[in-house]
């Protein structure tokens, strides 16, 4: 029998391993003013940070969603006795087993010729089968079973024909050399540790730790897909696989941190943690490499969320990144964000609905915070100090003609806050896109559609997690689809065909119940928002009886909608918002000359769906133009969005009015022709912004 070699916990190829960052993490922990006694590594990965904390004498909770990882933790951190001599004997039997005598098995028939050759595939399957037999026969206790599975996984990892993960294999590169298995080098600890396999956002709601370390995924690469082979062997359910990479169904392991929902997920996590110190690893991949490697959280996102819980320091640790083979980025900077927590978990977050403002810091706040963080950090941080304009927030409401693509052109043509103007008044606010992105702290949103302004109230005053919880409860109550959680395949649908067929009946029941609902019902805004989410193109329309009558759409409450909702709630919570439901004529009576007035009325040359039952008339247009001219005469400043040409028609009244008063007509570089799905001529409109103000 051969001598069985040993391996350490760190001897793995793993995307984002923190081996190089460990010395700095240890320095940060050692420098804390109060030495922590308990800690959690909530996205543990290889587990090396948890091991470092355990070696420092802390009682550590090591958590991950992958069964292969948590089984390895049970081997290294478990308290149950391990009979090393007995395990060495069993591993020796495997290393000496004559492969020629081993029959085909699940692993060899599934994976032979991919990551491993036929012989090694048979050996892997044989070893895994023997582990289960030994455990069932009482030869192994639970921890010893975990130790031998770790032995198997580390041996597989060392020999796999991959670049360190199992998203793909290198054709014809499977090693011919026989796999040789070792045993983990186990340590004795003075305190007991805990291993969990939980969603981190839920786990942190249930415990207090003195220190929480977090290393969430950085980009779109789902770890459940990257290490599916190791999980397959660990679970040993011998189920079906698919695609060339031989993947199991991994949808239940999809992480929001790898999607556009990363910022909401991160905010929810930080709001809920009950701890004195947060240490977070993240790096500045930014948009370098390919799209899959682009970071999902920006420095602004991270600082803005952490600073709401306490004082933040930033430590930079330059090192070379792990490359997957196709997206080399070069030398990057791993950031350690150290938050000295000064506030308790936000009210409600312990039960899953954080009563907190899910707001990231404004650009100016973030720039100042970054500067302070750099001077306080133990290493010089390299976060850019320049103030960057906040990104355009896209509303989850998709009004026809909304200004999400034009707002970045419109706002620079209007006076900035502080240039004699204190409040931005969005007279026909609709999706609230322009008001939210105006740059003004005081914004008055007005719309005659009461339900829309009800959503404005919701977005302004209710925390994002609460809205999510309410909407998800409605989705579950009516049996609507949840593609973010279950994927399209679970509904027999795909992204192209969409989910309209799946949701139609449930959507119609929801729509009927909404139309019967009292206007004062507290649930009405949540029902309305859910209708908009599942309705055609996220649009809004009513019939002559005032009932919402938009048909079902193809999409559901997916990550894009959630991201837009989060950004909208975050922005609205930062504003001093007023919500009005006035006829535009009455708005003029509330205006001061220090207000900046913006109007995006229904266009006389085209009727949008939400305006079908109260079509905008020539009289309405005349009253609006007269009101704006009168406001300008008394020293007010305005901006008016409209079209001068549309489908071959000319808006002569508007052209003549602008010329008569000497107003400035700015042509904007976007056509709303794509709002009509039947037209072939997509360049027929001339979109303009008319102002009575020019800079200087």
DSSP-derived secondary structure for 43-85: T-TT-HHHHHHHHTT-EEEEE-S-HHHHHHHHHHH--S---HH
Q: What is the pLDDT of residue 158?
A: 82
Nearest of 589, 693, 691, 582 to residue 640 by alpha carbon: 691
Average pLDDT, the chain: 82
Q: Are 444 and 425 in contact (CB under 8 A)?
A: yes
Question: What is the number of other CB atoms lying within 10 angstroms of the CB of residue 351?
Answer: 12
Rounded Cα gap, residues 628 and 640, in angstroms: 9
Q: Which residues contact 290 (CB under 8 A, 6 or more apart)?
A: 326, 327
Answer whether residue 485 shows pLDDT above 80: no
What confidence tier does 237 reach under pLDDT thresholds 50, 70, 90?
A: confident
Answer whether residue 457 shows pLDDT above 90: yes
What confidence tier does 225 reach under pLDDT thresholds 50, 70, 90?
A: low
Per mean pLDDT, which range of 246-255, 477-486, 532-541 is the poorest?
246-255
Answer whether residue 218 shows pLDDT above 90: no
Q: What is the pLDDT of residue 150?
A: 96
Nearest of 647, 644, 680 to residue 663 by alpha carbon: 644
Per mean pLDDT, which range of 397-411, 491-505, 557-571, 601-615 is the poorest?
601-615
* DSSP-derived secondary structure letter, 603: P
What confidence tier does 609 reach under pLDDT thresholds 50, 70, 90?
A: very low
Q: How many residues does the chain have?
A: 696
Long-range contacts of 543-549 (CB under 8 A, 24+ apart): 543/613, 544/613, 546/613, 547/515, 548/451, 548/511, 548/514, 548/515, 549/511
CA–CA distances in Å: residue 78 to residues 18, 102, 214, 540: 22, 32, 21, 56
CA–CA distances in Å: residue 186 to residues 49, 78, 150: 16, 9, 12
What confidence tier does 508 reach under pLDDT thresholds 50, 70, 90?
A: very high
Q: Are 120 and 179 in contact (CB under 8 A)?
A: yes
What confidence tier does 400 reach under pLDDT thresholds 50, 70, 90?
A: low
Answer whether residue 169 shows pLDDT above 60: no
Rounded Cα gap, residues 214 and 40, in angstroms: 8
Q: How far is CA 414 from the centre of its chain?
A: 33
Q: Are 295 and 284 in contact (CB under 8 A)?
A: yes
Rounded Cα gap, residues 535 and 528, in angstroms: 10
Mean pLDDT of 572-584: 95
Secondary structure (3-state) at 395: coil
Annotate 525-545 with three-state secondary structure.
HHHHHHHHHHEHHHCCCECCC
Rounded Cα gap, residues 178 and 160, in angstroms: 12
Mean pLDDT of 655-677: 75
Residue 272: both structure tokens together: 């809920």
117-145 pLDDT, tens per residue?
A: 889 989 999 999 999 999 999 999 999 99
- Which residue in this structure is represented by tokens 């070069």? 330
Nearest of 626, 595, 614, 500 to residue 551 by alpha carbon: 500
Answer whether residue 469 shows pLDDT above 60: yes
Per mean pLDDT, which range of 59-63, 168-172, 373-377 is the poorest?
373-377
Q: Are 489 and 495 in contact (CB under 8 A)?
A: no
Burial class, 661, CB count within 10 angstroms (exposed 0-12 / middle 13-18 / buried 19+) = middle
Backbone φ and ψ for 243, nearest 5 degrees, come out as: 70, 170
- Which residue in this structure is represented by tokens 């907190």? 356
What confidence tier does 166 reach under pLDDT thresholds 50, 70, 90?
A: low
Rounded Cα gap, residues 360 and 163, in angstroms: 36
């Amino acid at each position: 029998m051969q001598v069985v070699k040993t391996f350490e916990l760190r001897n793995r190829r793993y995307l984002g391993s923190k081996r190089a960052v460990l010395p700095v993490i240890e320095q940060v922990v050692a420098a804390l003013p109060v030495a922590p006694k308990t800690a959690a590594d909530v996205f543990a990965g290889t587990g090396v940070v948890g091991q470092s904390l355990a070696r420092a004498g802390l009682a550590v909770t090591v958590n991950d969603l992958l069964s292969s990882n948590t089984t390895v933790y049970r081997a290294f951190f478990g308290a149950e006795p391990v009979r090393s001599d007995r395990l060495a004997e069993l591993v020796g039997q495997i290393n000496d087993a004559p492969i020629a005598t081993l029959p085909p098995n699940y692993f060899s028939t599934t994976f032979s010729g991919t990551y491993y050759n036929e012989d090694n595939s048979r050996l892997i399957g044989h070893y895994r089968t023997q582990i289960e037999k030994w455990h069932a026969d009482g030869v192994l206790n639970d921890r010893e079973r975990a130790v031998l599975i770790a032995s198997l996984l580390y041996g597989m990892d060392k020999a796999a024909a991959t670049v360190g993960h199992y998203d793909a294999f290198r054709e014809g590169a499977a090693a011919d050399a026989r796999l040789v298995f070792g045993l983990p080098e186990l340590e004795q600890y003075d305190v007991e540790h805990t291993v969990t396999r939980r969603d981190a956002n839920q786990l942190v709601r249930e415990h207090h730790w003195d220190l929480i370390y977090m290393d969430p995924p950085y980009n779109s690469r789902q770890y459940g897909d990257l290490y599916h082979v190791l999980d397959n062997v660990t679970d040993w359910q011998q189920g079906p696989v698919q695609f060339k990479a031989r993947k199991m169904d991994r949808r239940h392991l999809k992480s929001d941190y790898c999607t556009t929902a990363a910022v909401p997920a991160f905010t929810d996590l930080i709001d809920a943690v009950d701890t004195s110190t947060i240490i977070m690893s993240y790096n500045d991949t930014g948009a370098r490499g390919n799209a899959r490697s682009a970071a999902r959280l920006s420095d602004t996102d991270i600082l803005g969320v952490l600073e709401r819980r306490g004082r933040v320091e930033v430590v930079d640790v330059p090192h070379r990144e792990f490359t997957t083979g196709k997206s080399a980025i070069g030398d990057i900077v791993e950031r350690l964000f150290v938050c000295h927590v000064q506030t308790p978990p936000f009210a409600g977050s312990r039960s899953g609905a954080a009563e907190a403002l899910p707001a990231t810091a404004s650009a100016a706040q973030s720039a100042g915070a970054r500067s302070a963080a750099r001077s306080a950090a133990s290493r010089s941080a390299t976060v850019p100090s320049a103030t960057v304009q906040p990104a355009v927030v896209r509303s989850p409401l998709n009004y026809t003609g909304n200004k999400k693509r034009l707002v970045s052109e419109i706002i620079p043509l209007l006076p900035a806050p502080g240039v004699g103007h204190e409040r931005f008044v969005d007279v026909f606010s609709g999706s609230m896109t322009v008001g939210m992105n105006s740059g003004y702290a005081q914004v008055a949103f007005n719309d005659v559609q009461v339900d829309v302004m009800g959503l404005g109230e919701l977005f302004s005053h209710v925390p994002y997690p609460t809205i999510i919880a309410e909407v998800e409860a409605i989705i579950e109550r009516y049996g609507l689809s949840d593609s973010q959680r279950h994927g399209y395949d679970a509904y027999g649908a795909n992204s192209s065909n969409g989910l309209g067929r799946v949701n139609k009946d449930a959507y119609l029941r929801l729509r009927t119940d909404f139309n019967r609902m009292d206007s004062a019902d507290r649930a009405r805004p949540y029902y309305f928002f859910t209708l908009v989410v599942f309705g055609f193109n996220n649009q809004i329309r009513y019939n002559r009886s005032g009932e919402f009558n938009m048909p079902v759409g193809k999409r559901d409450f997916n990550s894009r909608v959630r991201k837009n909702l989060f950004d909208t709630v975050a922005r609205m919570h930062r504003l001093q918002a007023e919500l009005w439901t006035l006829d535009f004529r009455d708005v003029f009576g509330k205006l001061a000359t220090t207000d900046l007035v913006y109007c995006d009325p229904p266009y006389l040359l085209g009727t949008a769906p939400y305006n079908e039952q109260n079509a905008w008339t020539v009289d309405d247009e005349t009253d609006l133009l007269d009101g704006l001219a009168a406001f300008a005469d008394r020293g007010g400043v305005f901006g008016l969005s409209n079209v001068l040409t549309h489908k071959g028609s000319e808006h002569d009244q508007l052209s003549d009015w602008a010329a008569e008063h000497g107003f400035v007509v700015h042509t904007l570089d976007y056509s709303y022709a794509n709002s009509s799905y039947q037209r072939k001529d997509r360049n027929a409109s001339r979109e303009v912004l008319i102002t009575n103000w020019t800079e200087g």
